[in-house]
Homo-oligomer: A and B are copies of this chain.
Amino acid sequence: MSHEKYRETLPASWFYDPLQFRRELKAIWGRAWLCIGREEDWPAAGDFHRLPIGAEQIIVTRSEDDVLHAFHNTCRHRGSILCEADSGTFANRRIVCPYHAWSYSLSGELKQAPRATESDGIRLEDFPLYRVALETWRGFVFINLDPEPAISLDQTLEPEAGYVARWPLEQLRSVRRESHRLRCNWKIFWENYLECYHCPGVHPDLCRLVPVYRTGYMDYQDAGLEQDPQRPHAMLRPGAVTWSQDGFTDLPWFKGLGEKELEAGMTFATFRPTMFLVAHVDYVRTVRVMAVGPEETELTVDWYLHRDTGPLPAAEIDRLAAFAGQVVSEDAHACELNQQGIRCSRHEQGVLLEPEDCVFEFEQWVRERLGE
């Protein structure tokens, strides 16, 4: 597996073998904190969304005491689904099974099992809905399919959450959501995200905006370059303030950002394996990742503004989303090219160069999660 002269990638088969995928679903995805949206997606008690998470269906709702809850969409009686709709509001603050009318509170307690008698041996308290762990962080909602999560949300968030501490994340509002179905393994997506070695060829416009990317490195230090001492944190080309076609913005700037954040013009925070966040002076973007199949991955991209920003005309939102949208599309295409070639029977392992240090580190993390 290891070569004395150069660093090798994970075995190629790990990127398409269905058994390996099942291992990773269990050991990585079944234990991870998965970002599923924002608290404001459930404005009132009884509001629900139904979410397909891999092979599972999860319902998330808000109870009368204003707490968010996540449950498997399955009745404890004979396993019927509870919600047929993708979203809506539970009537009468009850979750009622459409099959035999077993009825649950919004916090998941079984309140009524029609015609159950003592001789059936059914005690209502023994049959709550199957609960899914749910926590929130600064407005973002995370769930964890592990019945007893071994990883805390903090472990997922730290230390990167600190990088975006000055942004008012609690006060964001999503103004655009896009979904992309990528025909590639989920690790292909992350490996693409974790290196800029592909930037010169794949992202010419991005390289004009973020000049260091032209070197194939993520930052000046890795590239072995001196930064302008006048602007030691700057990532964007002189004059540019945000990720947009021209580098400028007509939107209001977030208040409270420090000199470092303003100068950088872009700040990333990565919450592996399900989400990363990019914060600019005027908007925040998140990309959520979901492993769908050995060679299929779902991306959900959100663009957020401060919730006090007035409604924007559609054309302005298009403009806001255009630049990063293009970068996502370029990466998606590169990921799919990678996936196609990796199935070659002769290709057993690839190699990693210095600009791919973070890919190497990611692959070590995957191996550890799998106990290798």
Interface residues of A (CB under 8 A from B): 3, 5-7, 9, 12, 15, 55-57, 72-82, 84, 98-101, 113-117, 119-123, 127, 130, 145, 147, 191, 197-198, 200-202, 215-216, 334, 337-338, 340-347, 350-355
- With a cutoff of 8 Å between Cβ atoms, the chain B residues found around residue A115 in the complex are 197, 215-216, 353-355
- With a cutoff of 8 Å between Cβ atoms, the chain B residues found around residue A100 in the complex are 197-198, 201
Q: Which partner residue on chain B sits nearest A202 by CB separation?
A: B99
- With a cutoff of 8 Å between Cβ atoms, the chain B residues found around residue A202 in the complex are 98-99
A73 and B341 contact, CB distance less than 8 A: yes
The answer to whether residues A346 and B130 also contact, given A114-B216, A351-B77, A354-B117 and a CB cut-off of 8 A, is yes
Number of copies: 3
- Taken together as a complex, chains A and B put the C-alpha atoms of A146 and B190 apart, in Å, by 34
List 18 A–B pairs whose Cβ atoms lie within 8 Å, in order of A's numbering: A5-B123, A7-B121, A55-B345, A56-B344, A72-B346, A77-B351, A80-B338, A80-B340, A81-B340, A98-B202, A98-B334, A98-B337, A99-B202, A101-B201, A113-B353, A122-B353, A130-B346, A130-B347
The answer to whether residues A75 and B345 also contact, given A99-B334, A100-B201 and a CB cut-off of 8 A, is no
Most B CB within 10 A of own CB, among A74, A113, A191, A201 = A74
A341 and B82 contact, CB distance less than 8 A: yes
Q: Which partner residue on chain B sits nearest A55 by CB separation?
A: B343
A6 and B72 contact, CB distance less than 8 A: no
- Taken together as a complex, chains A and B put the C-alpha atoms of A333 and B13 apart, in Å, by 38
- Taken together as a complex, chains A and B put the C-alpha atoms of A350 and B113 apart, in Å, by 13
B57 and A101 contact, CB distance less than 8 A: no
A57 and B353 contact, CB distance less than 8 A: no
- Taken together as a complex, chains A and B put the C-alpha atoms of A191 and B100 apart, in Å, by 13
- With a cutoff of 8 Å between Cβ atoms, the chain B residues found around residue A114 in the complex are 197, 200, 216
B81 and A347 contact, CB distance less than 8 A: no
- With a cutoff of 8 Å between Cβ atoms, the chain B residues found around residue A127 in the complex are 351
B120 and A354 contact, CB distance less than 8 A: yes
A338 and B117 contact, CB distance less than 8 A: no
- Taken together as a complex, chains A and B put the C-alpha atoms of A3 and B126 apart, in Å, by 13
Q: Which partner residue on chain B sits nearest A3 by CB separation?
A: B121
A6 and B355 contact, CB distance less than 8 A: no
- With a cutoff of 8 Å between Cβ atoms, the chain B residues found around residue A355 in the complex are 115
The answer to whether residues A122 and B351 also contact, given A12-B79, A216-B115, A338-B78 and a CB cut-off of 8 A, is yes
The 7 closest A-B pairs by CB, nearest first: A5-B121, A81-B341, A6-B121, A79-B342, A74-B344, A78-B350, A130-B346
A337 and B78 contact, CB distance less than 8 A: no
